[in-house]
Structure 1
Amino acid sequence: MAEQIVCFVIDKLIQLLITTEANLSRDTREGVRFIRDELESIRSFLKDADAKAAADGETTNDTVKTWVNQVRDAAFSIEDVIDEYLLRITLHHQDIGFIRFFHKTIRLVKKMRSQDGIVSKVDRMKELVRDIQERRKRYELSSIDQQGRDNAEKTLPWHDPRVASLFIEEAEVVGIESARKELTDLLVGGAPRRKVISVVGMGGLGKTTIARKVYDSLTVMDHFKCYAWITVSQSYRVEDLLRTVVKLFYNSRKENFPEGIDTMDEESLIRKSREYLQQKRYVVVFDDVWRVEFWEAIEHALPDNEGGRIMITTRIQEVAHFCKKSCFVHVHHLQPLPPNKAWELFCRKAFQFELEGNCPPELKDMSLDIVRKCEGLPLAIVCIGGLLSTKVKVVSEWQKLYNSLSSELGSNPHLTILTRILSLSYHHLPYCLKSCVLYFGIFPEDYSINCVRLIRLWIAEGFVKLKKGKTLEEVGEEYLTELIHRSLVQVSKVYIDGKAQSCRVHDLLREVLLKRCVDSSFCHVLSEDDSTFKPTIRRLSIDISPSDALGGITQSHIRSVFTFNQGEWPESFLNTLSGNFKLLKVLDFTDAPIKQLPKYVGDLYLLTYLSLRNTKVELLPDSIGNLQNLETLDLKQSLVYEIPAKINKLVKLRHLLAYYRDYNMEFCMNTERGVRIHEGIGCLQALQKLYQVEANHRGIKLIKELGKFRQMRKLGLKNLKSKDGRDLCASIEKMNHLESLDLSAISEDEVLDLESISTPPEFIRSLYLRGRLEQLPSWISNLQHLVKLVIFWSRFRDSPLKALQNLPNLLDLRLGQMGYDGGQLHFEEGGFQKLRYLGLRDMEGLNSLIIDKGVMPVLQEFHIGPSPQLKEVPSGIHHLQNLRYLGFYGMPKEFARHMHPNNGLHYWIVKHIQDVRFGYKFGPRYDVYERHSQCES
């Protein structure tokens, strides 16, 4: 962890030199460069120390640990000096003209060269890093450099905890029957060509166990003439790996090794392997592969023989897929144990020596809580169950373990293997991703965080590094994707196009991350059990009453504050935050029961992220204009309606998110309210998201200013009028990067005039149009990247389906309260080839719905209603062979008779649409029929 903190500070030093060089004296610049260079040298040592700690199970000697902690604290001190300097510079920039700014800057620089200024502080920092370097040499810690290099040339030590997975008895294995059969069939069957079978999953899921059981089975052994099992792990030398493969192949046939094999180079070993495997069916398992380069190292040693099979186990999806460039690959994503199998495994371990493996009734509820905590992770169930088998079988003892599981993971020898296995993936991360994954320790247990919110937070913290040709948001999305592909982060919910919408980490991995967060001063969770924190802590996650937290908060170098307690919020707590946390960068009040911001929130000049989402805050203080480093202002579901004019000063603002939706109202134009914003916002040219703004507040002037937002990705406007159309279209055409557009008219009868757009932004993926359209704008049918289309309150002269049916990437189509001459919708053959979701809502004039064969072949969800004129089941609905949900709502009595469970037509529909669920609503009554229960009976 110390390595990424040092790297982070190095980046800040470089940024300091770039952005404030004119304000620094020559000696000070040289001092900053000296500190940067010394930290670079220290960073190299830390990287080796971290590698050795990971390899040795974090059993590094105390001298090294002490020195690493001193490095970390020194890095924090340097960061504090930088941020305090930037704070003073920012403070003197407020509300002054250029001439006054120039003269004030001169006076400020002179002041900072005094004893209390930047010069003396840089000198102290230089002495600090000199002392650290000398201390390392004094205690001969440099020897670890060599140890680290030696470690990189060999696999993990003999006490590698994963070895135990190779020797699990058959009776101890639970819940792998179907996966074992599938993998066995893949090995012994299929085309007579070389094939790779990759088993992917997070640490502790049982990849090695299932691969070993398949490998050892008689079915597999009888099918191949030679075989080999190699544990690869994070560190290996290619020559040693190839040499091991060749030796194991010879050994499997009880043949002597070829002469001189121990001195052969890489090319000779590849030739020897290919020569030996010619005309032989072989199987080789490479267990625990971490690098994508692995396949390039061994693929030529394994010829494309008839029946050649390679199995790889890995935590990293990219490793699993990398082999596809040169051979057929089947990727098997290993799943957690289902609840019944998890319970069976737990009982076998916890009660293995008594009670005949059965859980006593008085322990069942507590045991079920423990099993749920393991979330189907076999290693966790085995380790915790094994530990409980040594405990007295009383509820109090088991409750004690459950409550103290976090500390037990770090100290109990029964759980060491679990902690180390879960930690391996963390150790293997590049430094920029380590901070990103530690961020999950901030959020409560079982908390799923929106992916977009998470990425914005990473950016606000400075974790995301800019790449040429990409926005920070795009780079952050790459970071998250990599963490998902490394099996560290779990996707909780996906958008219709498969992109992650929300994510979380396994509860036990979170416990491991939490301990690392505290040890490294990354974050501290203020709870009833632990309401004090170290002065070096950088982030606070408050999970207790703010009143209780007040006692522990004094003048602090905290950078981020998160709140997750719904208790009463005293005004004194809010004032304490703005008064004591001057270096704050992130302030996230999401869901907090607060009604106002502290008056002096504008004093937090370094703030980059402010969230008031789902709070009772109604007004933003004028001091918000002082937050000139603010990048994200999240006001969703707050009561803020008027944005102060001083928002125009926030030239770094990238995301302004503000609307309020009343979920108690029936769906209509007034269900959702935007915010009022003053004209003059055209200076906020860094804006990427502006959602939602009431366009009628400043009218044409505001709409014309929108054309200045060339970086805009998501735009939402409400209360549009017909006369706004031409200027709105002109502004939209200038937004070349626009991906999401949401436009709502001021009333259901107001025309949305969008005909003037001739060249729409080509990357639009989501389009929401709420207002009267008499015909579908022609440019919509040219949106090649469009994924989601929502149109409400239109009055088309002709059906819009023909213009939409050939959109190549349309997945989600929702039409509502729409009318047009004819009353019939006809989905014609060949159209909507990728559509997965179709919603037809409040279609009052719809009296006939026809679905041709071959249309919407992959449709999964279909919602219709209320449609009071639709009296018969849509014709051709049985063609939708992939339908999983079919909903009819608010239909007439005639339709209801067709859909009654006792009616033959109802049964006929169920028979033709596999796994379909029915729901339809008549007045207040809502009935759902499951295909495998009432429907078939």
Structure 2
Amino acid sequence: MKKRVEKIGDESDVQDLQSGISSLAVSSNPASSGIGKSNTVGLDDDMLKIKERLTGGSLNLETVSLVGMGGIGKSTLATKIYEDEYIVYHFHIRAWVTVSQEYNVGEILKNVLRSMKLLTKEMLEASIDQLSESMYKNLKGRRYVIVLDDVWDTKVLDDLKRLFPNDKNGSRIMLTTRLEQVANHGNSSRPYHMRFLNWDESWNLFCGKVFGKDFCPPELEKDGKKIVQSCQGLPLAIVVIGGLLAKAIQTPDYWENVEKNLSSIMISNDEHFSKILTLSYKHLPRHLKGCFLCMAIFPEYHNISISKLYKLWFAEGLLKSVKSKSLEDVAEGYLFDLVDRNLVLVHQQSSKGKMKTCKIHDLLRDLCMREAEREKFFHVLKKDLLGISKGIGLQRLIIHSRGENHYTANCLPNLLVRSLFNFGKWENFSELDLNVRLLKVLETGSRIMTISSSVIVEMINLRYLACTCKDVTFLSSLHKLRNLHTIIVRNVISTYVGLNIWKMPQLRHVQLNHVVLPDPSTTEAEEENCFIVLEHLQTLSMVYDFKLTLEILKRIPNLKKLGIHYEQRRWNWGDYCQSNLVSLHNLESLKCTFSGTLRSSLKNVTFPKSLQKLTVTGGKFPWKDMKIIGSLPNLQVLKLKNNAFHGRDWEPNEGEFLQLKFLLLEDICLVHWRADNIHFPRLQHLVILSCEFLNEIPSSIGEVPTLLSIKGISCSDSVITSANQIQEEQHSLGNDGFQVQFQFNSNDVYLMRDSLEDHFLDILGGHPQLSYNNKDSLHTMLYGSVGSLQKEN
């Protein structure tokens, strides 16, 4: 049988390793099977932690799992640990078995016995029961470590673990897997998530592979660093391209060509590399394959909005309906599965701790592109337009920007396209020669596009619309599209346009910058329509001067997210019926923006108890009104921006904010914040942006047992000092994970505050695969983007 060994940094070339993808099971102790010594980079700390898990802790038989995407170095680390002198000394018996997607228990048992040098010729024909008895007897009473490499199914563990004796002597099973479900199965300890290499580790591995030393000739360094950067910390990719370059001519022109064609060069020159990545896709259940291929629709280096991804999957018909579950819950389950399979990386987490944006490694994206085009899942428009002929039917067409290349209006024949994703250079939709009546999905990303009302009304089958426009007058015609369920439109010019949602019963999500909703009673007076309830509508934002009458709220009973913009100069509180908000029993997120200079009061506002997230921008409400917000029983996230509350002093009351986990204060003219730990008993993250008058963070905030971080931009020295004191106290109590990070003032803070807030939310979460798995790199990216003096503690 062939061996499948996922070796990173081995002395032999990666392309010479035997893949054995289709084998049932492979044998062996790596040291005795010719695998060789591993030349790992950046794994010393990881190795130490795993060794502690193997040799310490409980005396019961336990499983230690290494989990991560293909090519990240799981088998390399396992091999290095397996060969470690202390591991050899500590365990009486060691055995190594590589398990592939299809396995045979008998073959695995033979390989364990072979590792133990106990496999005889007679045993080759023995039954599983005989092999099990022999293995059990020889392991009984001895401390052993069995490595199960490349496990794909929890059934493997169920079939094998009953055959391993538990003598409570500290024996261990160590397994490597790409699947979180496998890593968490049985009596496993907490899985160890493999990380990507950071920049220094990547560069050292690359130089060592190409030159045999930590040095790169100056004339090759520029292109070499670009090549390494494109590998994005994936060890297998670095080793593969390093092995190829070590054998090739080493000139700047050749390296530049390699850098520009990196993915295709690696795939075409290394079958082993291609199989490792493809294997994860082939193992996906059918219902997840289309969802995964959709990840490649978005451009390179694109951080994909989770909420947009769910809407897109729904529009493409990729979600299976499940009783007692909403389609959004089904989509979330699909994404969790892809994350657990280490195919999708969580990039950002929201203030509620949920996934906000995600991404995939560029090499996996290239895999998606190849598989999607091979299966005709979508077609990418190339600049040479090969493969497209007149009248051809395409399920999905993607137009990607290619540098300065422009497509012309007549370069597309009359295409029959169901879904169009335009990330290219077209700005006028009318120029595209498409049969728009067939379109179900139209996505233009951030590219500013012109869409006329005459064209939009012809899209009778449109279900999903996401675009950026200067002129959004076409919105007034959208009500004619009765199949439309998602509208995501960003108008770059602040003009309010009417949208008659009351004629669109299939609507689920409406996300606009500025929209005015007509009075539904007037709308129905114009027609012979009966009372329409938008029972599917979950998202509605941002609505201008939204009148919360009971008649309107009865039409949107299942709304979960609402965004409203009020113009204070036009206010007459009685006209807007804010007390009726309580009628939205399913509302979870509310964003209210107030423009103008008048001071207001919340005394007539009644929030629903279901509210979990509240963002208030402007308004200048008095701090005494905060008790209305503080009494909300399920509020987890509170963001106060741009003088949302006005006054020098804020003293919360006991019994308020019992569930609050995230608090943001931005541009608030607060001086004295007199809070105690009892006021925010579950607070985890505190973010303070541009609160220049705040004199300090209350020291009692540091006594909140759940507090994880304090972040800030443009704060006074006294605020930073108080935060540092809180950190010192936390560290003295053993909470070394507590973070304090502050950025000094810069001219860019006010312009960048929204994006910076998102970056801060990036580093608040603790997901093991958080954005390149390198928080140092992320932190550098965040503060480097501001370009001002940094102070971090």
Q: TM-score, normalised by structure 1?
A: 0.68
Q: Is the 8 A contact 1:174 1:345 kept in 2?
A: yes
Match of 1:331 in 2: 191
Mapped partners of 1:233, 1:369: distance in 2 = 34
Q: Is the 8 A contact 1:571 1:598 kept in 2?
A: no
Match of 1:675 in 2: 515
Where in structure 2 are the equivalents of 1:387-466 lying within 5 Å?
Answer: 387-409=244-266, 412=268, 414-466=269-321
Distance 1:798 1:307, change over 3 A: same
Match of 1:885 in 2: 741
Of residues 23, 28, 43, the one that matches 1:157 is 23
Distance 1:161 1:191, change over 3 A: closer
Match of 2:226 in 1: 369
Correspondence 1:814 to 2:665 = yes
Report the more deviating stretch, 683-692 or 837-846. Answer: 837-846
Q: Is the 8 A contact 2:25 2:97 kept in 1?
A: no
Mapped partners of 2:720, 2:254: distance in 1 = 64
Of residues 175, 194, 203, the one that matches 1:343 is 203
Distance 1:844 1:200, change over 3 A: closer
Where in structure 2 are the equivalents of 1:80-229 lying within 5 Å?
Answer: 156-157=22-23, 168-170=35-37, 172-229=39-96
Q: TM-score, normalised by structure 2?
A: 0.79
For residues 857-908 of structure 1, the C-alpha deviation after alignment (integer angstroms, 9 at most, x for no partner) is 4241243866799999689645454232145769xxxxxxxxxxxxxxxxxx
Letter in 1 for 2:154: V
Match of 1:263 in 2: 127
Match of 1:787 in 2: 637
Report the more deviating stretch, 547-556 or 280-289. Answer: 547-556
Q: Is the 8 A contact 1:850 1:875 kept in 2?
A: no
Of residues 723, 729, 744, the one that matches 2:593 is 744
For residue 256 of structure 2, give the secondary structure of its aligned residue in structure 1. Answer: helix
Mapped partners of 1:162, 1:269: distance in 2 = 16
Distance 1:808 1:159, change over 3 A: closer
Mapped partners of 1:875, 1:174: distance in 2 = 35
For residue 578 of structure 2, give the secondary structure of its aligned residue in structure 1. Answer: helix
Q: Is the 8 A contact 1:790 1:814 kept in 2?
A: yes
For residue 488 of structure 1, give the secondary structure of its aligned residue in structure 2. Answer: coil
**Which of the two has greater helix per residue?**
1
Q: How many angstroms does 1:374 deviate by? A: 1.4
Match of 1:234 in 2: 101
Match of 2:606 in 1: 757
Mapped partners of 1:889, 1:234: distance in 2 = 54
Distance 1:767 1:204, change over 3 A: same
Structure 2: unaligned runs, 5 residues or longer: 5-19, 524-531, 732-737, 747-775, 780-785
Distance 1:874 1:551, change over 3 A: closer
For residue 296 of structure 1, give the secondary structure of its aligned residue in structure 2. Answer: helix
Q: Is the 8 A contact 1:290 1:314 kept in 2?
A: yes
Mapped partners of 2:554, 2:719: distance in 1 = 44
For residue 577 of structure 2, give the secondary structure of its aligned residue in structure 1. Answer: helix
Q: Is the 8 A contact 1:383 1:415 kept in 2?
A: yes
Q: How many angstroms does 1:511 deviate by? A: 1.4
Letter in 2 for 1:280: R
Distance 1:802 1:557, change over 3 A: same
Letter in 2 for 1:884: V
For residue 776 of structure 1, give the secondary structure of its aligned residue in structure 2. Answer: helix
Match of 1:64 in 2: none
Match of 2:139 in 1: 277
Mapped partners of 1:530, 1:162: distance in 2 = 51
Q: How many angstroms does 1:746 deviate by? A: 5.5
Correspondence 1:295 to 2:157 = yes
Mapped partners of 1:214, 1:367: distance in 2 = 31
Distance 1:169 1:744, change over 3 A: same
For residue 665 of structure 2, give the secondary structure of its aligned residue in structure 1. Answer: strand
Mapped partners of 2:472, 2:742: distance in 1 = 41
Q: How many angstroms does 1:313 deviate by? A: 0.3
Report the more deviating stretch, 401-410 or 628-637. Answer: 401-410
Report the more deviating stretch, 256-265 or 584-593. Answer: 256-265
Mapped partners of 1:872, 1:219: distance in 2 = 46
Match of 1:904 in 2: none
Match of 2:183 in 1: 320
Of residues 625, 632, 635, the one that matches 1:775 is 625
Of residues 696, 700, 713, the one that matches 1:852 is 700
For residues 189-235 of structure 1, the C-alpha deviation after alignment (integer angstroms, 9 at most, x for no partner) is 33323222110111011111211221122321221122221211211
Task: Count matched residues.
Answer: 709
Q: Is the 8 A contact 1:618 1:640 kept in 2?
A: no
Mapped partners of 2:59, 2:717: distance in 1 = 60
Mapped partners of 1:362, 1:182: distance in 2 = 39
Mapped partners of 1:367, 1:264: distance in 2 = 52
For residue 377 of structure 2, give the secondary structure of its aligned residue in structure 1. Answer: coil
Q: Is the 8 A contact 2:648 2:669 kept in 1?
A: no
For residues 303-336 of structure 1, the C-alpha deviation after alignment (integer angstroms, 9 at most, x for no partner) is 432111111101111211123xxx3503211112
Match of 2:377 in 1: 522
Where in structure 2 are the equivalents of 1:298-313 lying within 5 Å?
Answer: 298-304=160-166, 305-313=168-176
- Over the aligned positions, Cα root-mean-square deviation in angstroms equals 3.9
Q: Is the 8 A contact 1:810 1:835 kept in 2?
A: yes
Match of 1:17 in 2: none
Q: Considering only CA atoms, is the larger Rg found in Structure 1 or Structure 2? A: 1
Q: Is the 8 A contact 1:831 1:856 kept in 2?
A: no
Q: Is the 8 A contact 1:533 1:552 kept in 2?
A: no
For residue 272 of structure 2, give the secondary structure of its aligned residue in structure 1. Answer: helix
Match of 1:247 in 2: 113
Letter in 2 for 1:712: L
The percentage of counterpart residues that share the same residue type is 28
Of residues 548, 556, 563, the one that matches 2:407 is 548
Where in structure 2 are the equivalents of 1:899-914 lying within 5 Å?
Answer: none
Correspondence 1:560 to 2:400 = no
For residue 192 of structure 2, give the secondary structure of its aligned residue in structure 1. Answer: strand
For residue 538 of structure 1, give the secondary structure of its aligned residue in structure 2. Answer: strand
Q: How many angstroms does 1:756 deviate by? A: 6.0
Match of 2:537 in 1: 687
Q: How many angstroms does 1:171 deviate by? A: 6.1
Where in structure 2 are the equivalents of 1:609-758 lying within 5 Å?
Answer: 609-613=464-468, 615-620=469-474, 622-639=476-493, 641-659=495-513, 674-680=514-520, 683-695=533-545, 699=547, 701=549, 704-719=551-566, 721=571, 723-724=573-574, 727-730=577-580, 732-745=581-594, 747-753=596-602, 757=606
Q: How many angstroms does 1:844 deviate by? A: 8.2
Q: How many angstroms does 1:839 deviate by? A: 4.1
Match of 1:861 in 2: 710
Q: How many angstroms does 1:711 deviate by? A: 1.6
Match of 1:838 in 2: 686
For residue 466 of structure 1, give the secondary structure of its aligned residue in structure 2. Answer: coil
Mapped partners of 2:723, 2:96: distance in 1 = 58
